[in-house]
Amino acid sequence: MIHTPRRSWRAVAPVLVIALIAAACSAAPPAGTAAPPAGTPASSPAAPPAGTPAMSPGGGTGEVEIFSWWTAGGEADGLEAMIEVFGDEYPDLELVNAAVAGGAGTNARAVLATRLQQGDPPESWQGHAGQELIGTYVAADQLEPLNFLFEEEGWLDVMPETLIPQISEGDDIYSVPVNIHRANVMWFLEENLTEWGVTAPTTWAEFLETAATLQEAGVTPLAMGEQWTSMHLFETVLLGELGADGYAALWDGSGDWASAEVTSALETFSSVLEYTNDDASTLSWDNAAQLVLDGDAAFTIMGDWAEGFFVAQGLSPDDGDFGWAAAPGSDGVFQWLSDSFVLPKGIANRDGALAWLRVAGSKAGQDAFNPVKGSIPARNDGDRSLYDAYLQSAMDDWGSNDLAGSLTHGVVASDAWKAEIDTALGLFLADGDAAAFQTALTDACSAEGACQ
Ligand code: GAL
């Protein structure tokens, strides 16, 4: 891939100096004795004040319920690998894996919202760095800041400086990033492309030509799954057609959703959809990826958890078992997202939750999890030799490409804005009315207050 100079991300909140925590560990209340101050509602028991030092690194005893949506091949295996590290380090704690199936958290996040409403938070959940974390959980005051843990564990020295603003509100840091995923990847089997006489397209215009050839040969050009995977495709088409700056401008209010460039990108998206499988709405992301492995489809565009899925099937990029390229038009741009874990207020086992977070942020935890998950460590000191050829290429690109945040996976838009886009997208998938889609997208940006 062509490497271009790194641009800095637009910060969710300015990076401010993290306050040094003066309090000693002995100042922390003993396990289970933190009493809520008077007047705290029963449904949200008080958390210790920001900066309260962690309990004993021993982690205590009891159950630790960890919530995610990692149930498919690769992602579930990665989670298990990290749970194993946790078991070794904290043998007195019992980890409860409360994953709820459904890619991109579509089901899990609804279940989580109900639990939070009922005052029944798990000890920790997976939330995406960026607007999903800050605009939803932090805005609802559901999380404790984690500055003290970052200080204790020295994480500010090993996590990318550019990531910290994406998990911070003002001075407060609110999650522990466990990885970096890349969203804009196109996957294929090289030998199938050769057999069908095509190569991986580098622009969307080229994709449409290649797709026509494939369709004539009776091959589905692009495998897609349920609706969130079409949002994932949509964001990569926007990125590929508008470029990193044009794409970023759509989210920071400096761009124009009603512009001719967006009209043209929507036309491209519309044409691309013509080349997807008819049964997309019934397939999960991994079902769609399987179509490529089975030779029923030429390409799929999916985040690199797909590589975890391929590896879980016994394939290896080191042996050339599958191929990848930047999604058309986005070579040199790394469209990123980051899975991260939080410390909720009102949990039953705060010590246990802190133990989990220590593992999630540790080198051992990240180097166990990420090579299997299909992601690269959030830390910049991961052991490169543990990562396969694809993941090493992702490490290189993360360090050198332009960066763009993912819409589908929580970086650039609040949940409310994303929900508006999702509704508009659902209508568009049903009626194909690109003009109405563009109007709805323009209105959604205004409703969010991001565009005037
Ligand atoms: C993303 C998440 C990834 C992966 C994917 C498919 O939202 O960040 O870790 O799990 O969904 O489930």
**CB of 15 within 8 A of CB of 91?**
no
pLDDT band at 304 (very low <50, low <70, confident <90, very high): very high
* Residue 66, strand partner residues: 97, 124
| pLDDT given at position 106 | 95
> Which strands make up the sheet holding 179-182, listed edge to edge?
376-377, 179-182, 333-337, 402-405
Q: Is the pLDDT of residue 25 over 50?
A: no
Ligand 1 atom, smallest distance to 337 CA: 8
- DSSP secondary structure, 229-247, as one string: HHHHHHHHHHHHHHHHHHH
Q: Is the pLDDT of residue 94 over 90?
A: yes
Q: 341-364 pLDDT, tens per residue? A: 999 999 999 999 999 999 999 999
* HSE, side-chain direction, 13 A CA sphere, residue 288: 32
| pLDDT given at position 214 | 98
Residue 448 CA to ligand 1 centre (angstroms): 25
| pLDDT given at position 23 | 30
* β-bridge pairing 176-177 and 339-341: antiparallel
* β-bridge pairing 220-223 and 297-301: parallel
Q: Is the pLDDT of residue 41 over 70?
A: no
| Share of the chain residues as helix, strand and coil, in percent rounded to the nearest 5 | 45, 15, 40
Torsion from C-alpha of 340, 81, 357, 136, nearest 10 degrees:
30
Phi, psi dihedral angles at 378 (to 5 degrees): -70, -35
Gap between the Cα atoms of 424 and 101, Å rounded: 25
Closest Cα to atom 2 of ligand 1: 104
Ligand 1 atom, smallest distance to 285 CA: 6
Q: Is the pLDDT of residue 50 over 70?
A: no
| pLDDT given at position 32 | 30
SS3 311: helix
For residue 423, which amino acid is it? T
**Structural domains in the chain?**
41-180+338-402 (3.40.190.10), 182-336+407-448 (3.40.190.10)
CB of 181 closer than 6 angstroms to any ligand 1 atom: yes
Mean pLDDT of 35-51: 36
Burial class for 111, CB neighbours closer than 10 Å (0-12, 13-18, 19+): middle
Closest Cα to atom 8 of ligand 1: 339
Sorted by sequence, the CB contacts under 8 Å of residue 15 that are 6+ apart come out as 161, 164, 165, 168
CB of 102 closer than 6 angstroms to any ligand 1 atom: no
Q: 387-429 pLDDT, tens per residue? A: 999 999 999 999 999 999 999 999 999 999 999 999 999 999 9
pLDDT band at 145 (very low <50, low <70, confident <90, very high): very high
Mean pLDDT of 43-54: 40
Q: Give the closest residue to 187 by CA, choosing from 299, 316, 317.
A: 299
| pLDDT given at position 37 | 33
CB of 410 closer than 6 angstroms to any ligand 1 atom: no
**CB of 20 within 8 A of CB of 50?**
no
Q: Is the pLDDT of residue 199 over 60?
A: yes
Q: Give the closest residue to 244 by CA, choosing from 337, 162, 333.
A: 333
Gap between the Cα atoms of 28 and 48, Å rounded: 9
Q: Is the pLDDT of residue 55 over 70?
A: no
* HSE, side-chain direction, 13 A CA sphere, residue 101: 6
pLDDT band at 194 (very low <50, low <70, confident <90, very high): very high
Of the ranges 49-53, 64-68, 163-167, 361-365, which one carries the lowest mean pLDDT score?
49-53
Q: Is the pLDDT of residue 59 over 90?
A: no
CB of 75 closer than 6 angstroms to any ligand 1 atom: yes
**Axis crossing angle, helix 204-216 with helix 227-252, rounded to the nearest 10:** 160
Gap between the Cα atoms of 140 and 179, Å rounded: 24
- DSSP secondary structure, 385-418, as one string: GGS-HHHHHHHHHHHHSEEEE-TTTTSSS-HHHH
Structural tokens at position 347? 């949990």
| pLDDT given at position 4 | 30
Ligand 1 atom, smallest distance to 409 CA: 7
- Number of H-type helices and E-type strands within the chain: 15, 15
Sorted by sequence, the CB contacts under 8 Å of residue 162 that are 6+ apart come out as 8, 9, 403
- With pLDDT > 70 as the criterion, what percentage of the chain qualifies? 87
> 324 to each of 50, 292, 318, 370, 390, how far by Cα in Å?
43, 12, 12, 18, 8
Q: Which residue has the higher pLDDT, 81 or 18?
A: 81
| pLDDT given at position 339 | 98
| pLDDT given at position 205 | 98
CB of 70 closer than 6 angstroms to any ligand 1 atom: yes
Gap between the Cα atoms of 37 and 21, Å rounded: 22
Distance of CA 12 to the CA centre of its chain: 16
| pLDDT given at position 452 | 75
**CB of 187 within 8 A of CB of 324?**
yes
Closest Cα to atom 1 of ligand 1: 104
Of the ranges 44-53, 129-138, 282-291, 342-351, which one carries the lowest mean pLDDT score?
44-53
Q: Is the pLDDT of residue 376 over 60?
A: yes
Largest CA distance in the chain: 72
Gap between the Cα atoms of 309 and 75, Å rounded: 7
Residue 362 CA to ligand 1 centre (angstroms): 20
- Mean pLDDT over all residues of the chain? 90
Closest Cα to atom 7 of ligand 1: 104
Q: Is the pLDDT of residue 16 over 60?
A: no
**CB of 72 within 8 A of CB of 285?**
yes
Ligand 1 atom, smallest distance to 339 CA: 8
Q: Which residue has the higher pLDDT, 431 or 20?
A: 431
Q: Is the pLDDT of residue 7 over 80?
A: no
| pLDDT given at position 57 | 54
* Residue found by looking up tokens 């003009």 in the block: 435
Q: Is the pLDDT of residue 101 over 50?
A: yes
Mean pLDDT of 119-125: 98
- With pLDDT > 90 as the criterion, what percentage of the chain qualifies? 86
- pTM score, whole prediction: 0.88
| pLDDT given at position 43 | 36
Gap between the Cα atoms of 134 and 127, Å rounded: 10
Residue 104 CA to ligand 1 centre (angstroms): 5
